[in-house]
Amino acid sequence: MKKSLMIGLITASAFFGVTSAQASGALIPPEEFASDPQIPGKMLGDNCSACHGTLGRFYDESMPPLAGIPRDVFIKLMQDFKNEVRPSIVMNHVAKVFTDAEIERMADYFAAQTDRPWKEEDVLKGGQ
Amino acid sequence: MNNLTRRELMKRFGAAGLSLGLFGASKEAWSKSAPHIVIVGGGIGGVSAAKYLRILDKNVKITIIEPNKEYIFCPGSNEVLNDFTSIEELTVNYENIKSRYAVNVIEDLATDIDYSAKKVKTKNSGTIAYDKLIVAPGPDYKFSDIEGYSKDLAEGDFPHAWKAGPQTLKLREQIHSMPQGGVVAISSPPMPYRCPPAPYERASFISEWLTRHNPTAKILILDSKNSFTFRKHYLDYWTKARGYGTKDAMIEWIPMEKGGKVTQLDAANNTLVTADGERIKADVINIIPAHTAGKFAHATGLTQGNEWVPIDPMDYRSTLDKDVFVVGDATESSPMVKTGYLASNHAKAVAQSIVNELAGKPPVQPLYTNNCVALTGEDYGMTITDTFRVKDGKIIKQYGHQSTELDNDALHHIRASLAMNWQRAFRRDIFE
């Protein structure tokens, strides 16, 4: 009896996984989205700009810039945040939503950005 | 180029045209064949769209239609009430967007869309043709939900102050000139509305000022909800710092289930009336009205008879017209909340989608985050981290976390620093 009830619960929670996670605020593991169309590195990385600056290029605020960060350093940092190896006020909760491949695409994106303050950028000439 | 010629050019083409000519950006931007992206609304969503479009594409022509000369940021505006900041600090103009990003800003009110001719009608500047239109009107307020309340009263002695500006200053003045032991009544609206923790942040900042200048005053929050964002944090802070739950409490919160829902304003008697018929007289009355999509979204049929604008969450394209995109608070984006952070991220997805479409490339899969902050005081901050993905045309909340730690002053302090830092960085990400 107990066992079948348990199985019922597991099935129900698997079936309604998304709904229950939304209600409780629980994390839907990023791997569940692994077969979705790829989100490009820029789209992922542009979500970081409100804190780290446009294209990761604010050098004068307390949150570190991301532009020009070496690929492997970015990946290590994000994986450590994701796996809660490196405690942080906000970044653990930011990082745990991404798949490993997404972290790598963000790493490629930020590594390719010019590591100069955004305010110095000649936007119309380009460079980004 | 000598100064005379430069000045002459300025006269003819304005700063935007001049900077293009001088600094060698594409001639395409001003050729007749350049696609024209028109943006209605120069707030967080509209300006983010313009800036991120220009970063992606130097050749398109970009026009913002906005009736105001300046924009005043709402994030941070509760802190004007206790003089932690000023309206001036939150105010930006459009000069940088014009000159640095070659965006044409028309100071006018957009009034309608001719979908078949692809033109926007304006109050004073005639019609403006577009190839793609981005609509970012923000919310409007449903004054009629509170009997006796109106736009005129909001602009007079009963400011909602839910759009930073003159009403914020009016509310500040009312609080600062209130008699000793006076009462401030705040009516907090039903969901959804802009920035869910903000009514409670507002009460906190008012209480900070009152503690210093009017310590026997009271703040009554009359709520049309039974709970709110960061409730645990706010109740904890109010308990520790403002005597919450005792007879000397400076702040009292009355949820809907305890009779908190306000249904009527008796303006002549400075009195609020609740759903239970209780009459509450106060020295300062701050009604935050229920929200709906901005006027322009309703007037143009973009809402399609709904409160909010239906969009395809892949790229915030209107379901009514494939060449029209709508971003920010005006959209039906549930389970997202309505924040400037999300509005700016909607805008980035729109910019990417338009650029791809013009280049004949497929749209990209989006991701939307809402990594926001709020304050209970200068030294007590809170953080929220939400992530949304799009699957089968629906918005999925992959994760939503609110900070929960209570007895850790160091963490509160760090989060407050983060919050202040975020406000500055966020403003710069939109306008710098």
Cα A112 to Cα B119: distance, rounded to the nearest angstrom: 39
How wide is the angle at C-alpha B348 spanned by C-alphas B342 and B349, nearest 5°?
A: 90
Provide the ipTM: 0.90
Determine the Cα–Cα distance for residues B158 and A66; give it in Å rounded to an integer.
45
At B209, the pLDDT band (50, 70, 90 cuts) reads: very high
Residue B13, token pair as written in the block: 């083409």
Per-residue pLDDT, A126 = 55
Q: Which of A51, A92, A96, A105 to mutate to test the interface with B (most CBs of B within 10 A)?
A: A51
Mean pLDDT in residue range B23-48: 79
Mean pLDDT of B376-389: 94
Residue B126 has pLDDT above 50, yes or no: yes
Read off φ and ψ for residue B298, nearest 5 degrees: -75, -45
| Reported confidence tier of residue B71, pLDDT bands at 50, 70, 90 | very high
Confidence of residue B136 (pLDDT cuts 50, 70, 90): very high
Asked if B367's CB is within 8 angstroms of A50's CB, the reply is: no
- Token pair for B376: 């209970």
The whole-angstrom separation of Cα B3 and Cα B7 is 6
Give me the torsion for CA of B318, B390, B401, A28, rounded to 10°. 160
Q: d(Cα B245, Cα B262) in Å, to the nearest integer?
A: 22
Q: Is the pLDDT of residue A20 over 50?
A: no
Q: Which residues partner with B39 through β-bridges? A: B64, B134
**Token couple for B96:** 């940088």
Which residue is listed with tokens 């939150």?
A: B90
DSSP A38: P
pLDDT at B13 over 90: no
Q: Are A78 and A95 in contact (CB under 8 A)?
A: yes
Q: B406 to each of A41, A79, B35, B206, B409, how far by Cα in Å? A: 36, 28, 53, 22, 8
- Residues in A closer than 8 angstroms to B394, CB to CB, are none
Query: Does position A14 have pLDDT exceeding 70, yes or no?
Result: no
This prediction has a pTM of 0.90
pLDDT for the residue numbered B194 = 97
Q: What is the pLDDT of residue B2?
A: 40
Tell me, what's the pLDDT at A15? Answer: 35
Residue B30 is predicted with a pLDDT of 55
Task: Give first-to-last CA distance, chain B, whole Å.
Answer: 27
- Token output for B18: 């001049």
Give the list of residues 6+ apart from residue B2 with CB closer than 8 angstroms, or none.
none
% of chain B at pLDDT higher than 90 = 89
State the best of A33, A93, A109 to mutate against chain B, taking most chain B CBs within 10 Å: A93
Residues B259, B281: Cα–Cα separation, whole Å: 15
Assess whether pLDDT exceeds 90 at residue B28: no
Choose between B407 and B4: higher pLDDT. Answer: B407
On the 0-12 / 13-18 / 19+ scale of CB atoms within 10 A, B107 is middle
Using a CB cutoff of 8 Å and minimum separation of 24, what contacts does A115-119 make?
A115/A57, A115/A65, A115/A67, A115/A68, A116/A57, A116/A67, A117/A57, A117/A58, A117/A59, A117/A60, A118/A53, A118/A54, A118/A55, A118/A57, A118/A58, A118/B432, A119/B432
Does the pLDDT at position A99 exceed 50?
yes
Architecture field, domain A41-125? Orthogonal Bundle (1.10)
Eight-state DSSP code of residue B189:
P
> C-alpha angle with apex B116: B115 to B117, nearest 5 degrees?
95
**Average pLDDT, rounded, for chain B:** 93
Q: Which residue has the higher pLDDT, B76 or A128?
A: B76
Q: Is the pLDDT of residue A116 over 70?
A: yes
The predicted pLDDT at position B273 comes to 98
Residues in a beta bridge with B133: B38, B324
Burial of residue B387 (number of CB atoms within 10 Å: 0-12, 13-18, 19+): buried
| Amino acid, single-letter form, for residue A68 | G
Identify the helix (H) or strand (E) that includes residue B61: strand B61-65
The confidence score (pLDDT) of residue B14 equals 45
pLDDT of amino acid B27: 44
Tell me if chain A has a CB within 8 Å of the CB of B401. Answer: yes
Mean pLDDT of A6-33: 54
Are the beta carbons of B348 and A52 separated by less than 8 Å?
no
Q: What is the pLDDT of residues B308-367, one digit of tens each?
A: 999 999 999 999 999 999 999 999 999 999 999 999 999 999 999 999 999 999 989 999
Domain ranges of chain A: 41-125
CA distance B197 to B216: 25
Contacts for B14 with CB less than 8 Å, ≥ 6 apart: B98, B104
Instruction: Kindly give, in sequence order, each residue whose CB lies less than 8 Å from that of residue A19, ignoring residues fewer than 6 positions away.
Output: none
pLDDT band at B31 (very low <50, low <70, confident <90, very high): low
Which of the residue ranges A57-71, B176-190, B210-224 would you say has the lowest mean pLDDT?
A57-71
3-class SS of residue B223? strand
- Residues of A at the B interface (Cβ-Cβ below 8 Å)? 18, 21-22, 25-28, 30, 33, 36-40, 42-44, 46-47, 49-55, 58, 61-63, 89-90, 93-94, 96-97, 118-119, 122-126, 128
Specify the pLDDT at position B4. Answer: 39
pLDDT, position B78:
97
Query: Which helix (H) or strand (E) covers residue B280, if one does?
Result: strand B279-281
Nearest Cα neighbor of B44 from B346, B310, B299, B350 is B346
Least confident window among A5-9, B104-108, B226-230, B238-242: A5-9
Gap from B367 CA to chain A (nearest CA, Å): 6
pLDDT (0 to 100) of residue A17:
35
Tell me the one-letter amino acid at B410: A
Which tens digits make up the pLDDT trace of A36-63? 999 999 999 999 999 999 999 999 877 8
Q: How confident is the model at residue B103 (pLDDT cuts 50, 70, 90)?
A: very high
Q: How far is the C-alpha of B365 from the C-alpha of B388, rounded, in Å?
A: 12
Where are the extended beta strands (E) located within B94-196?
103-106, 110-114, 119-122, 127-129, 132-135, 139-141, 183-188
- pLDDT given for residue B19 in this prediction: 41
Of the candidates A21, A44, A53, which has its C-beta nearest B367's C-beta? A44
Q: Is the pLDDT of residue B16 over 80?
A: no
B44 has pLDDT over 90: yes
User: Residue B252: is its pLDDT beyond 60?
Assistant: yes
Q: Which tens digit of pLDDT belongs to each residue from A76-91?
A: 999 999 999 999 999 9
